Amino acid sequence: MLDVLIVGAGPAGLALACDLTRRGVECRLIDRSSQLFVGSRAKGLQPRTQEVFDDLGVIDAVRAAGAVFPSFRCYDGARVIWQRSVYEMLGVPPLPSNPAVPYPDVWLVPQWRTDRILAERFTELGGKVELETELTGFTYGVGEVDAVTTGGPIRARYLVGCDGGRSTVRKTLGVGFAGETFDTERTLIGDVRVDGLDGVFCHLLTRGGNVTSRFSLWNLPSSPYYQFVVSMAADEAPALTLDSVRALLEQRSGRSDIRLHDLRWISLYQVNVRLAQRYRVNRVLLAGDAAHVHSSASGQGLNTSVQDSYNLGWKLAGVLAGAPDALLGRDVRTGSPGRSHRRNQHLAAHHPRLPQPRPTSLPEPRALVIGCPSHHLRVMSNICSIVLSWSPRRKSRKRSQKRWTRSISILGQVRSGRPTCPMVCSPTRWSARPGKARNGNDWSASAPGNAWWPGHRPTSCGRWRSSPTPQRRSQPATLRNAPR
């Protein structure tokens, strides 16, 4: 019997297949598409994701295929009005590489290239991506899952759905996907060749320097293509054709000297922020976009998906080797989807929106992220217009005492007690109860986090476990001093 059947050959499925195969777990990876994804879509690899790729043995290929985040160049028509690096825009010095944070910079790599690097690694390890093989149904029982595919039946000990936001696995299970869809806004994104622009930049083409109505063109490393990104109201969404993109460029920039041609891929993106009610039902698991979807800002989908798979991989391999089944988490709900998606709502704030004023009655936010310097907060709020939010948790129905918790979305990963930046982390719940995952599904990078205290270290993005000699305290200092 097969150990694991993985459905979906995107970043989550490919990363999980690589991790399981290198651990000696027999797995198959199927996808209904005729080829791997061809677009640049999620092009920014965050520091923690690069560390994962280092461990999976693909970091050299990833670094060779990409480049450091380019500078931004803003135009008023054909005139350049300013040019700034990411660090100049944030007002901070470049972040140095060190043993604790070996890859401090966001690395620009088009998603199609990331997918192919992972697929090549999977093949090198002895696996094969089975394209044009669609999952049409499955049943599960004690100790096995029987899947029906267009390539024939497959029996496996576990099935993992990494098949995206419209997941067939999740829908077949009947698992809810509560959250919110932003109906008023759309983002047009695609890959095209461009004539008439010089230099390697993120080109912000505007009329009069108004960046809220810009047409962005990103140079893609080692490629003749550019990624265009244009945000607009829902009722202004154009047809998905090259002529429509050309008309939009001229309308936004006033320029007719820039020639767009050879449209390779195009998509109209609608922001969804949703969370699956369960990540596990018996021997069927969900990971990546099948379990949670986000705003496109900072490549949250790809980065959390890879980290989901990396954390699930070693646990799944351990259980197959005889470790307790509880290592995978309990077959329970993730918690209240309503509260979960409200905690994630501010992640959907992206470029056309401005950060809202911070509450003045709460402590300085740097204290809430345990010594996070102020420039980390500027990274959070400026690079993606992410709004920091704080909210007291309601009185527990099971306990009489009141407990103060905070939900913080940061672009920094707290590692070994030190925030590093920039890096995508999902909202982390800081709690007075240390070391206990509330939802029992601790492979998910986007689920509410565990408590943190000195001496703890992360198992993945937003997840924590004790080091050999944890320095336990009843509460983190920031919580002991929090208003009640």
pLDDT in tens, 92-144: 888 889 998 999 999 999 999 999 999 999 999 999 999 999 999 999 998 99
pLDDT reading at 326 higher than 60: yes
Answer whether residue 382 shows pLDDT above 80: no
Q: In this predicted structure, what is the pLDDT of residue 296? A: 77
Q: Is the dihedral of CA 293, 297, 302, 304 positive or negative?
A: negative
pLDDT band at 256 (very low <50, low <70, confident <90, very high): very high
Higher pLDDT pick, 163 / 430: 163
Using alpha carbons, select from 27, 218, 4, 12 the residue that is nearest to residue 115. Answer: 12
First to last CA, the chain: 55
Residue 326 belongs to some domain of the structure: no
pLDDT in tens, 23-53: 999 999 999 999 999 999 999 999 999 999 9
Pair (88, 219) in one structural domain: yes
Last residue in a domain, options 227, 250, 270:
270
76 with 199, same domain?
A: yes
Give yes or no for a contact between 25 and 46, defined as CB atoms under 8 angstroms apart. Answer: no
* Number of independent structural domains in the chain: 2
| Whether 92 and 209 share a structural domain | yes
Domain-embedded: residue 226: yes
Same domain, 74 and 205: yes
Q: Are residues 84 and 227 in the same domain?
A: yes
Instruction: Looking at the structure, tell me whether residues 248 and 347 fall in a common domain.
Output: no
Distances (CA, A) of 464 to 20, 368, 429, 450, 453: 21, 17, 12, 6, 10
What is the mean predicted confidence (pLDDT) over 424-430? Answer: 31
The alpha carbon of 4 is separated from its chain's Cα centroid by a whole number of angstroms, namely 24
Q: For residue 183, what pLDDT is reported? A: 87
Same domain, 225 and 350: no
Return mean pLDDT, the chain: 75
Look at 107 and 428; give whichever has higher pLDDT.
107
- 318 part of a folded domain: no
Residue 240 lies in a domain: yes
CATH assignment at residue 237: 3.30.9.10
Report pLDDT digits (tens) over 57-72.
999 999 999 999 899 9
Confidence of residue 409 (pLDDT cuts 50, 70, 90): very low
Per-residue pLDDT band at 166 (split at 50, 70, 90): very high
22 is a domain residue:
no
Residues 230 and 366 reside in one and the same domain: no
Angle made by CA atoms 326, 327, 328, in degrees to the nearest 5: 85
CB 297 within 8 A of CB 386: yes
Using one digit for the tens of pLDDT, what is the confidence trace for 269-308? 888 899 999 999 999 999 999 999 988 777 788 999 999 9
- Write down which residue in 237, 270, 303 finishes a domain: 270
- The tens digit of pLDDT for each residue in 433-446 reads 333 333 344 444 33
Residue range(s) defining the domain that contains residue 374: 337-480
For residues 217-241, average pLDDT: 94
Strand-pairing partners, residue 71, are: 201
Specify whether 389 is located in the same domain as 256.
no
Dump pLDDT digits (tens) for 329-375: 865 444 433 333 333 333 333 333 323 333 333 233 322 223 333 33
* Residue 143 within any structural domain of the chain: no
Residues 471 and 383 in one domain: yes
Q: Is residue 42 part of a domain?
A: no
Give this prediction's pTM.
0.71
Residues 242 and 365 in one domain: no
Residue 192 lies in a domain: yes
Q: Are residues 80 and 216 in the same domain?
A: yes
The pair of structure tokens assigned to 409 is 């979305």
Q: Report residue 208 as tokens.
A: 């009069």
Q: Which of 226, 251, 270 is the last residue of a domain?
A: 270
* 142, HSE (Cβ side, Cα atoms, 13 Å): 0
